[in-house]
Structure 1
Amino acid sequence: MSAAHDGTGRAARRRFATLGRSVALFRAFLVEQSDPDHFYGLLAQDSVRQVSGYVPLAGRTVLDVGGGPGYFAAAFRAAGARYVGLDPDVGDFSAAGDSVAGMLRGSGTALPVRSGGVDVTFSSNVLEHVAEPTRMLDEMVRVTRPGGVLFVSFTPWLSPWGGHETAPWHYLGGDRARRRYERRNGRPPKNRFRETLHPTSIAQTLRWARGNPEVELLDALPRYHPWWGRWVIRIPGVREVASWNLLLVLRRTGAEPGGAAEKTELAGGRVAM
């Protein structure tokens, strides 16, 4: 990232992170279950704008770890990026009407991607669903080229939405919240405590970022807050609840290679650059 882009990007990020934008995202969140196309489409566009405030996307290869139903594919490609989505179930991509071309099936903790093979690694609300979150983070670092950028967001366990559909009862314990959900709905929740949903904290993730010599921490902020609400990240304890969702922006350390990245090719289940 050039100094010029960093300076203009900082101003753009502040103009982008308005109260109106936060309200729009919250309203869309309220209809996530009934109108997922609206919510995830808006979130994808918002995420691409947020990423673009740190790194130009045109011509860059983006790996989306946990791409899910593919809502992010169109948004990243519209920004000029070469998008590769990865998910344990490639069939999920069809939910957004997208082709599985350019998509990979694989685990976030064992990415089927060559080391240093992508310019940008991105993951939206996946880390809390991984039993070994630091292992997934290490894998994202491995596949990012020196000078490349990583964007990782997740919902902390103590966030008001930390229990996902069992919230806010997760504050009384994940197992208790799960049992309550089953009694009221006659079925287990999709996000099951310590099976498909794990208690991940901001403190734990920041310790990993600050202690990893292979990355430089560029930013840590509440993903959906207006720019003047960033202060909550600086207060231990408070940030676990008040941030709602953490976004980490990291740069892969090492010498940045010159020239543009080569075109992505899918070969033998791995991404070759």
Structure 2
Amino acid sequence: MSAAFEEAGGPAARRRFATLGRSVALFRAFLVEQTDPDHFYGLLAEDSVRQVAGYTPLAGRTVLDVGGGPGYFAAAFRAAGAHYVGLDPDVGDFSAAGDSVAGMLRGSGTALPVRSGAVDVAFSSNVLEHVSEPARMLDEMVRVTRPGGVLFVSFTPWFSPWGGHETAPWHYLGGDRARRRYQRRNGRPPKNRFRETLFPTSIADTLRWARGNADVEVLDALPRYHPWWGRWVIRLPGIREVAAWNFLLVLRRVGTRPAGAAEKTELTGGSRC
């Protein structure tokens, strides 16, 4: 790992952050996600920004949030001094947290409307499992990140306890069956519909993609919400798909920035730091 990443926080600082108390607070907040989304997503956004800051400085950096949705992450990243740009298929979702849609983009995660090498941080929280071609979205995130920049991607593996989202834990008996059961019991289809808006994404496939991509190096792979001493589960194929609950992959874009490249991004018009 480079000196720049050590200065950003380093393993010791990240270990101090990933405490059992922090994990308990996140899981408690998760229990009220439906009834008190402001509490859950506000806490998650602050936690995520703190996690990202453990790998790279954020002040003055351009952050692209792929699948930003409501503006909770916008407020947290901007409070950290970042130039935040959110992208979502439905820009109307950005207003759910009372945030302005200014500076937001409408587009697909698998065809990002952003020039190559334009951002310092490509961030995505719990979106990859909702994309039919996750490798294509990851490729796009790599493309738009400058050499030396960071990619921070998390998702819920299909075989985790929450893999079926609101249809869990019945997804263990099959996604179609879980969907039909939900509709019978609630009189409406689930928001996260198997193989329409929710896809069986795995840790194994994502790690295989990362290790086979010459444009990135893996900085970290860990269970996102676990305390630091629980990260060992990622080393256990099969078990990690269930025990990780939510998987986090942190990557660094490798390569050399082209000589004479513009110092301003097309996203913000601001200078790079």
Q: TM-score, normalised by structure 2?
A: 0.94
- Give the match's secondary structure for 1:190: coil
- Give the match's secondary structure for 1:113: coil
Structure 2 partner of 1:130: 131
Amino acid at match of 1:219: D
- Give deviations 1:95-135, integer Å, cap 9, x for gaps: 01000011000000000000000000000000000000000
Amino acid at match of 1:6: E
Task: Return structure 1 stretches of 4+ with deviation > 3 angstroms.
Answer: 261-267, 270-273
- Give the match's secondary structure for 2:102: coil
- Give the match's secondary structure for 1:179: helix
- Give deviations 1:42-93, integer Å, cap 9, x for gaps: 0000000000000000110000000011110010001010000000000000
Q: What displacement does 1:9 show?
A: 2.2
Find the aligned partners of 1:243 and 1:205 in 2 and give their Cα distance: 14
Find the aligned partners of 2:169 and 2:243 in 1 and give their Cα distance: 14
Structure 1 partner of 2:94: 93
Structure 2 partner of 1:3: 3
Find the aligned partners of 1:10 and 1:152 in 2 and give their Cα distance: 18
- Give deviations 1:223-269, integer Å, cap 9, x for gaps: 000000000000000000000000000001102579xx9454459xx
> Does residue 1:199 correspond to 2:194, yes or no?
no
- Give the match's secondary structure for 1:192: coil
> Does residue 1:109 correspond to 2:130, yes or no?
no
Find the aligned partners of 1:46 and 1:121 in 2 and give their Cα distance: 17
Structure 2 partner of 1:146: 147
> Does residue 1:57 correspond to 2:52, yes or no?
no
Determine what percentage of the aligned residue pairs are the same residue: 87
Structure 1 partner of 2:80: 79
Paired residues of 1:114 and 1:271 also in contact (CA < 8 A): no
Q: What displacement does 1:11 show?
A: 1.2
Find the aligned partners of 1:195 and 1:4 in 2 and give their Cα distance: 41
- Give deviations 1:185-235, integer Å, cap 9, x for gaps: 000000000000000000000000000001101110000000000000000
Q: How does 1:1-273 map to 2 (within 5 A)?
A: 2-3=2-3, 5-6=5-6, 8-255=9-256, 262-266=263-267
Amino acid at match of 1:65: V
- Give the match's secondary structure for 1:24: helix
Amino acid at match of 2:52: V
5+ long unaligned stretches in structure 2: none
Q: What displacement does 1:12 show?
A: 1.1
5+ long unaligned stretches in structure 1: none
Change in Cα spacing, 1:109 to 1:186, as seen in structure 2 (3 Å) is same
Q: TM-score, normalised by structure 1?
A: 0.94
- Give deviations 1:127-160, integer Å, cap 9, x for gaps: 0000000000000000000111100000000000
Find the aligned partners of 1:134 and 1:272 in 2 and give their Cα distance: 31
- Give the match's secondary structure for 2:55: coil
Amino acid at match of 2:43: L
Change in Cα spacing, 1:159 to 1:9, as seen in structure 2 (3 Å) is same
What's the RMSD between the two structures over aligned residues?
A: 2.1
